[in-house]
Structure 1
Amino acid sequence: MKPTKLRPVLLVLVLLSGFYYLTTRVGSSGAASPILHNLLHPSEALHTASLKGPMGTFELTQAAAAPAYDTEELQNIAVYKKALPSVVNITSTTVQFDFFYGAVPSQGQGSGFLLDKQGHILTNAHVIEGGQRIEVTLSDKHKYKATVVQIDKGHDLALLLINAPNLVPATLSESTGLTVGQRVYAIGNPFGLSGTMTRGIISAIRSIRGPQNNPIDDAIQTDASVNPGNSGGPLLNSRGEVIGITTLIASNGADQSSGIGFAIPINTARAFIDDIAKYGRVRRPSLDISTIPIGPDIAEQIGLAADYGILIEKVLPGGAAERAGLRGGTQRAYQGNIPVMLGGDLIVGFDGQEIQSPQDLSAALVNHHAGDQVTVTIFRGRKKMDIRVTLNDAKDNPTGPVA
């Protein structure tokens, strides 16, 4: 058979294969069935409507019925319906005085979410900072006065309480094991627009500085659109479970979303809540040290025994590290234009867990409480040692240690 005679046969085979794939593979998922039906039966899917008036007649082609939601849309809707009843709007009112000493109320808005049926609400500390009257509006539009139970400025977290019936608490997930590319949703009150949901992915997991220059370790970076008013609201996974607390945006001076938002990991909030439940206040554990992260280049330059870890630059007087015998630096040097102290102990382990960065140490501390005894593995010169340390309460140190 000549090649020219084969072409019609091949074309028919390609068309039949494509039709088989669409009807058996794509169509079997259910998401494409409405599309296929409309393509195969266009006359059933459309009708024409005539509108007559002074301007003449308009012939409009309309769909016979609203199309069914596809799988992705159904997931978005399910997340929203599950999470929305738990999300609240927070209004913080501060009374200021004008030039003539007249009282001028000033309001700030943010978001939060319900933790339990008793009315506890988690939000950011900066949402309610300076507020003399705090009100919470639920998704059903009912408004309640809130009292402040506890604030942790170090982690930019606050716990509120309202007295309201029939509350729907959020479902908390884990923030360990989060992966870049994972789908996330943010629900909150951007620019006062309550009940707004946006969607994106986890763009990175990194340590940053919060709105009050507080360190946020393992912050969740996302491209989900977040704006002023989203602060304190939940960042959700695809099952509608809370994995973080939306906190700030990188805006380069513009007070709106730039596609880079950050959330406090929910495990940090869990430790905050756990402290309040056990002790009635926040007892953040601390080693009472300031440190320098170490990599292969720095380690080689200053002759360290390991090419990873964190070098103790300073131990706070009377702190946990000093009481345990850990040593800070004694030799002044410079990183760029910044003076640092070298010669201190190099921390490489914490209770059997390898420590490669300050973030590793912060993550390890989150799982402990002030008063816990831990084993810190160090290099002192070339000698490897295990030191027992009783963790201090960070609140006891007004100077504010780094770790």
Structure 2
Amino acid sequence: MQIKRFLLCAASFGLIATPNMAIASSPPIVLAQFQGEEQTSINVYQAASPAVVTIRAGRGSGSGSIISAEGLILTNEHVIRDSGNGQVTVRTPNGRSYTGAVIATDRRNDLALVRLLNTQGERFPTIPLANADGIRVGQQVFAIGSPFGLSGTLTRGILSRIGRDGDLQTDASLNPGNSGGPLLNSRGELIGVNKAILSPDGRSNSGIGFATSATIARDFITQNANRPVPSGAVARQPTPSSPAQRSSTPNSPRLGVTVDGRNLTVLEVEPGSVAATIGLRRGDRIVAINQRRLTGVGDLQTFLDSRPNSALLTVSRNNRLANVRVRF
């Protein structure tokens, strides 16, 4: 870029310094107005980009969408996973930085809500969520985020597929840092929360990206938008019977974990608990007890209520299974 600038300056100097050169007058050049798809891209970017933020948690960073004027942000759970005390740093497009508190997460759908703190009543630009009729395979889609830390980056593609689980597939270019940012339709509505790419070898980008649908995100927001800011810890999305994993019925053994009620993924481990002693950690999934596969949180609760003295847990970690003996 510096070389190009130097050559342009040099060429301009030559024209100015050359004597006796006649410069013919010519009519002014009239540039055509932006049209069609080009104008649509410009409109979407101008409408949505002021509400797309960069989020930093620990040593990692991602993106997010402001969805309420009071400063509620929708992003990925994996973007805020390393927030430690439940707080993240949020940078808005105008260059201002805020502290954000994680108020809810949904690991299964990779969603999280962050509330901006100490905003002094400031009102923020927002991105509206699309309804189901605004999400159609074949439509143009736009992704805005901070790939490799380059905030405010726009890419474009189409909505290639809607999976059975509701996940959206797109060929819009997504890269590290786009996670948590919006996938938008041509009306500037959020149709998905960008979260992953398909990488056959774990290194290269195949050009296929995925987002959690706005229809799933809307339910998550409705359930959690009014949750208070937690003090010093990440608040988890409530799931049916989830408190039972931490404290069973009176005199029942306590495993000392909070799990996702749908897939038994460990969300929290109590310090000093049985689970902590055997080395369970966040992200592990409890698959079976005494070689009997668990079909849900009810199976785990029923077993604990039987007041066993010990158990053989089958745990999945990083796609590997291990059996661990637990003594209560």
Q: Does TM-score exceed 0.5, indicating one fold?
A: yes
Q: Secondary structure at the match of 1:145?
A: strand
Partner of 1:92: 57
| Match 1:115 to one of 67, 74, 77 | 67
Partner of 1:282: 237
Confirm or deny: 8 A CA contact 1:113 1:233 kept in the other structure: yes
Q: Secondary structure at the match of 1:84?
A: helix
- Structure whose residues are more often strand by fraction: 1
Shift of 1:143: 0.8
Aligned mates of 1:238, 1:262 — CA distance in 2? 18
Question: What are the Cα deviations for residues 337-357 of structure 1, in whole angstroms up to 9, with x where unaligned?
Answer: xxxxxxxxxxxxxxxxxxxxx
Partner of 1:130: 82
Question: What are the Cα deviations for residues 172-225 of structure 1, in whole angstroms up to 9, with x where unaligned?
Answer: 112467322111110000111110111110111125xxxxxxxxx211000001
Shift of 1:131: 2.2
Name the stretch that deviates more: 218-227 or 256-265: 256-265
Confirm or deny: 8 A CA contact 2:143 2:155 kept in the other structure: yes
Give the TM-score of the pair, scaled to structure 2. 0.61
| Match 1:249 to one of 165, 182, 197 | 197
Give the 3 Å change call, closer, same or farther, for CA 229–318 of structure 1 in structure 2.
closer
Aligned mates of 1:108, 1:191 — CA distance in 2? 10
Is residue 2:8 matched to residue 1:53? no
Confirm or deny: 8 A CA contact 1:228 1:255 kept in the other structure: no
| Match 1:222 to one of 146, 166, 170 | 170
Partner of 2:99: 145
Aligned mates of 2:13, 2:296 — CA distance in 1? 83
Instruction: Give the unaligned 5+ runs of structure 1.
Output: 1-49, 94-106, 208-216, 291-312, 323-403
Q: Secondary structure at the match of 2:55?
A: strand
Give the TM-score of the pair, scaled to structure 1. 0.50
Confirm or deny: 8 A CA contact 1:114 1:121 kept in the other structure: yes
RMSD, aligned CA: 3.4
Rg larger in structure: 1
Give the 3 Å change call, closer, same or farther, for CA 68–146 of structure 1 in structure 2.
same
Give the 3 Å change call, closer, same or farther, for CA 62–258 of structure 1 in structure 2.
farther
Is residue 2:141 matched to residue 1:193? no
Confirm or deny: 8 A CA contact 2:113 2:225 kept in the other structure: no
Aligned mates of 1:88, 1:241 — CA distance in 2? 16
Aligned mates of 2:74, 2:27 — CA distance in 1? 47
1:136 is matched by which residue type in structure 2?
Answer: V
2:61 is matched by which residue type in structure 1?
Answer: Q
Is residue 2:136 matched to residue 1:179? yes
Instruction: Give the unaligned 5+ runs of structure 2.
Output: 1-10, 229-235, 242-260, 264-292, 303-328
Aligned mates of 1:128, 1:316 — CA distance in 2? 26
Name the stretch that deviates more: 269-278 or 134-143: 269-278
Shift of 1:259: 1.6
The share of aligned pairs that are identical, in percent, is: 42
Q: Secondary structure at the match of 2:45?
A: helix
Size of the aligned set, in residue pairs, is 227
2:157 is matched by which residue type in structure 1?
Answer: G
Q: Please give the residue correspondences for 1:3-402 in structure 2 after superposition, counting only pairs within 5 Å.
A: 51=12, 53=14, 64-93=29-58, 107-132=59-84, 134-163=88-117, 164=119, 165-175=122-132, 178-207=135-164, 217-253=165-201, 255=203, 257-277=205-225, 282-284=237-239, 315-316=295-296, 318=298
